[in-house]
Structures are given as structure tokens and as C-alpha cells.
Structure 1
Amino acid sequence: MQKPQNTDAYSMILEAIDLGIYRPGSRLVESELAERFGVSRTPIREALQRLETQSLLARDGRSLIVASLDHNQMAELYVVRRELEGLAARLAAQHATPEEVRILREMVEADNALIDDPVALARANRRFHKQVHLASHNRYLVQQLDLVHRTMALMATTSLAAQGRGAIAQAEHDGIVRAIEEKNEEAAYVALRDHISVAFITRLKQDAKRREEEV
């Protein structure tokens, strides 16, 4: 299992959740976290309190566990993400530097090699979206999207694990970058907004299949 590379307790725990080391429902114990990450219990305690305040952790009696999202919470999150991501793409088409656009294009081309590796592609997908956010050159939008993406880590699986989704997502990324390259703000907005909508539909299908298998 890949381990976090950060040295800050908050970032290390957050990254561990993002990597799936701790999944929704996992119990987090101060002493165990301190030993795993090689830090004292004080910064661990402070990090856990911060994560609980952000609703990334929940109380289970006296213990803290990684929170999970119910259907309504997931739907609400995707509504917000769709609009904010679309806005980021619109602003990127307006403000991205030639160098930033080139990086986005190189990301898409490199990530095509990861289509058959959902875990690696999911990490690459997060990098791609973060780059679009930064290319918007709007710090407040980036902050809100960081919060949205942190909350996305509370979903146990990635929509990119669905059959055929990797190739489709990469094609969608190509269209997003093309619109940004052309400085077509409306096309960039629509392309990224639709990309998130398709991801949401895919996740809904995954959840429906999982519920069916549990019956």
C-alpha cells in the first residue's frame, strides 16, 4: 500500500484517506496514527479535530471514523462540483498561460497510458483537475474546489473503475483541453460540466449494482 509522503499530520491523514489506506468507516486511533506517521500525538489530535470540523471524520461513540456519504450527500456534492468545475474551465480558457495549457495537453497524452489502471488513472485524474483549477487563476475558486475534492475522498470507489470509463474520461479530458487551447470559454465550461455529469451517472450505476449484489 502506498504511504503518504507529507510530513504535516493533517496532510498525512488526509492523503491516507485519499489513497484508500483509511476508507469510509475506518476507525482512527491517535496512538496508531502517531506510530504510523512517526509524529507525536499532539499534532495527530489537532489534525483529527480539524478533519472532524470539516465533516471528513464522524463520531462513532467515543471513537472517530472516516465519514461516508449517503445518496443525498453524494448528489449534493456532485451538483456543486459540476458548477464549480465548469466555472474553473471557463476561467482557465480565459486566463491560462501558454505554459499551463501545454501542461494540460501533456497530462492528457501521458494519462492515456493509464486507461487500464483505475487506481493510477484516478490519481492522474486528480492532478489533471487540480491543474485546471490552478489555471483559472482564481484563488477563492481553488479553495472551494479543494474542499469539494477532499470530500470526494469519502467515496469508497472511483467512477474510473467502471468498465470503459477510463477511455471515455480521457476523451472528455481531451475535449476540455481543446476548448481551453482555443480560448472558447463556453465550450470549456460545457465540456467540464458534462464530464462531471457523466462521472456522476457512472457512480450512480456503480452504487445501484453494489446494492443489487448485497441483496
Structure 2
Amino acid sequence: MKDVRPAQKDAYELILEAIDVGVYRPGDRLVESELAERFGVSRTPIREALQRLETQSLLSRDGRSLIVASLTHDQMAELYVVRAELEGLAARLAARHATAEETRVLRAMVEDDFKLLNDPAALARANRRFHKQIHLASHNRYLVQQLDLVHRTMALMATTSLAVEGRGRDALAEHDAIVGAIEAGDGDAAYDALKRHISIAFETRLRHDADAMLAEG
């Protein structure tokens, strides 16, 4: 049975979205015919999309098969370093350039997201939306493009740090501080608050992964 998808999304976006929401996870094999059936498109655009995703290192080769790539510890650490700097810059620029309407939307997101604390998957989606809104509020198209690439790669992480007990509430408190700095037009404070937010998320993930390794023996 074919999934019903918005016509405006191309094969690349459809596959990327499926990876992002966990339909396909690191290590899963992607088959042209199955993807074409799922998304209701021909195999040619699927093939082109897979080639593009492989070029971006979101897919890797396992013999003749393409699988969703996994991040090594070092790759994850490198990604968080870049993410922290770029996200911090986006927050700094948002404090300078965000419109009153954009700032009100960010504030409403923080308030609404507290209702999702018992649903880590929904909170993770809301978290991506929140960060994307800050990117857009920076009003710098080149920065937005680079952050899109970073966040596409973040989809290769099989779990979200927001699933760790207590992390969701703490993350939203950090979001509140970021928005407060943007509302105040304080670029330095916004930069620092968002960098700290990413640093804590990374530390939480490292602790969670270490605990999982210990549990496995």
C-alpha cells in the first residue's frame, strides 16, 4: 500500500524525512523498488535521491547495498562542535534581526512545548521546529543552508537526548532562556545560551550512551 504524500515533496525530501522521523534508522538497508512503492514515485528519482544522499554521507555502502549511515563517536563530537557554533551564531543574529512576530512565535513555541513533556517523540519534533525557527529568524540564508545540512546529519543519531528522564523539562527551560535573550535583543546572551544548550544536550547524549554500554555488559 502506497503512502499518501504531499505532491510538492520530491524523492530526496521524502527519504530524508523518513530517516529523520525514524522510519529508517542507522544500519537499515534502502531498496529502490521498496522506496518507489512506499512513496508512489518511479525508480529513477529514487535512484537519483539515493545517489545524492550517499554523496552527502547520509547513506553508506554495505557491499552492493546502500544503508543508512551511522556516526562514529568522533563524527558525533565534530558535528556537535559545528552545530554549537552555527546555532549560537543564528541566535545572535536572531537577537538582532528577528521581527516582533517571529519573536512572539518563538515564545509561543516554548509555552506550547511544555504540554509535550510526556511524549519524547513529539517533543523531539517540536525541538527541531523551534531550532528551525531560530535559524529563519537569523535572516541569513547562507547560515540557514549550513544548519540544514547539520540537522540532516543529526538524523543519523538513532536516539534523542530528550528521551532521557528529566532532559525534556531542562531543555525547555534552556529554550526559555534563549528566547528571553532574543526578546531582549542581547546577541551575546543569545549566543551563549544556545551554545550552552547544545553543550548540555551533547553531554546528556554521551552519558546516556555510556550508561547503555554499561547495561549491555
Question: Which band: TM-score by shorter chain?
Answer: over 0.9
Matched, 1:159 2:161: yes
TM-score by length of 2: 0.96
Structure 1, unpaired ranges of 5+? none
Q: CA RMSD in A?
A: 1.0
Identity of aligned residues (%): 76
CA distance in structure 2 between the aligned counterparts of 1:210 and 1:5, rounded to whole angstroms = 36
2:17 corresponds to: 15
Q: How big is each residue's C-alpha offset from its partner over 1:148-177, in whole Å with a ceiling of 9 and x where there is no partner?
A: 000000000000000100000000000000
CA distance in structure 1 between the aligned counterparts of 2:150 and 2:4, rounded to whole angstroms = 20
Letter in 2 for 1:209: D
Q: How big is each residue's C-alpha offset from its partner over 1:152-206, in whole Å with a ceiling of 9 and x where there is no partner?
A: 0000000000010000000000000000000011000000000000000000011
> Could you tell me which of 198, 202, 211 is aligned with 1:209?
211
1:195 corresponds to: 197
1:134 corresponds to: 136
How far 1:214 moved relative to its partner?
2.0
> Could you tell me which of 149, 152, 168 is aligned with 2:151?
149
1:54 corresponds to: 56
1:35 corresponds to: 37
| 1:74–1:41 Cα change, 3 Å | same
Q: Which 4+ runs in 1 deviate beyond 6 A?
A: none
2:83 corresponds to: 81
TM-score by length of 1: 0.97
Contact 2:5 2:39 in 1 (8 A): no
1:100 corresponds to: 102
2:127 corresponds to: 125
How far 1:4 moved relative to its partner?
8.3
